Amino acid sequence: MNKLVLTALIVANSSPARAFFDASVTQTFGANKYVGTKVWADIGEEFHVKPTFNVYKSDTSNGTYKTFQLRGAYDTKVWGAGVTAGGSPKVNGYSNRFFGADVNFSLTPGMGGQIRRLTDNPEGKGPKGSGLARVDVGGAIFHTTHVDELQFTAGGSRNSRGGGSAPLRPGARPRSVNIGQTDLTVNAGVSVFETLISAEVTGSRYDKDLNAIAAAPAAAVQLSGLNSIIQGFPKTSMMARVDLSMFPIVEPYVSLTRTSYYLGAPKSTAVTIGATAGFEILEAHGSIETYDPGGGSAKQTYVSFGGGVRF
């Protein structure tokens, strides 16, 4: 799970700079009757707080999963840092809790107005410039505790995405198991004229042998570049994104996310194409995500749309 929550929601250049209040809602529909909603608000300037709420369900999720998250951060032209904590209440025997910290540095802090950092979409409120005016680097460390009352044996499937592509059947454990996951992330972003290019790599390690304990794939996992929520235990996730800022109102983007998993699940690939449009204090966004779970499974399509306000 990418704990920076680098969701593809970028404010267009026509939006007011350094907004005190920024809020957005996104609705996602897709394969297997997937329905998801994300709502967040970012309040403050240099110091700002961001509560986020995520909820999703599908034919393969065996329940409706909710995630609550709160981030506090401090951003200047030179650097920014934040802390995040949250969790998902128990559904179908599964719950989680997480916390972490991130930091970003601007190698060219003297250029551009205060909008956001290139490495942090859209968490930071650092500057964005024009020309070869922005070079940002950063990193994060996050820890998640997965609590599950289920284990898997051969014979069926609780979920069909990420780690759930293996033929597994859930069954009750004598007692719940706690699985610790630690994520290390590095990222970088650069502005080349009116094009923003960013990339991120996250490596995940676990404190237990997932196969030895017959772990059921985690039921609510967020990855950079995806608007949909997946199921599984990521191993390595790599995301690259390009935003085109040369248009007066609309800002299109494309992202590619490639993820490997534990529990013998195949690598997945997601391509998201979308755009945001700024209208004074209002913002609209939409995207189409094509998700290939690998292993010969059929590709899945997810459509997202929503809007926001900032002032």
Domain ranges of the chain: 21-310
| pLDDT value, residue 173 | 78
d(CA 82, CA 104): 9
| pLDDT value, residue 111 | 55
Q: Which residues, in sequence order, are bridge partners of residue 74?
A: 47, 81
pLDDT tens, N- to C-terminus, the chain (311 residues): 443 333 333 333 333 345 789 999 999 999 999 999 999 999 998 999 999 999 999 988 888 999 999 999 999 888 999 999 999 999 988 999 999 999 999 887 655 444 455 555 443 334 444 455 678 899 999 999 999 988 875 543 433 323 334 334 456 777 889 999 999 999 998 888 788 899 999 999 999 999 899 888 899 999 988 999 998 999 999 999 999 988 889 999 999 999 999 988 899 999 999 999 988 899 999 999 999 999 899 999 999 999 999 98
| pLDDT value, residue 245 | 84
DSSP track, the chain? --TT---S----TTSPSS-SEEEEEEEEEEGGGEEEEEEEEEEESSEEEEEEEEEEE-TTTSS-EEEEEEEEEEE-SSEEEEEEEEEEEEETTEEEEEEEEEEEEESSTTSSEES--TTSTTT---EE-SSS-EEEEEEEEEEEEEEEEEEEEES--S--SGGGGS-EEEEEEEEEEEEEEEEEEEEEEEEETTEEEEEEEEEEEESS-TTTTTBPPPS-B--TT-SS-B-S-EEEEEEEEEEE--SSSEEEEEEEEEEEESTTPPPEEEEEEEEEEEETTEEEEEEEEEEE-STTPPPEEEEEEEEEEE-
Q: How many residues does the chain have?
A: 311
The CATH class of the 21-310 domain is: mainly beta
| pLDDT value, residue 117 | 57
| pLDDT value, residue 109 | 64
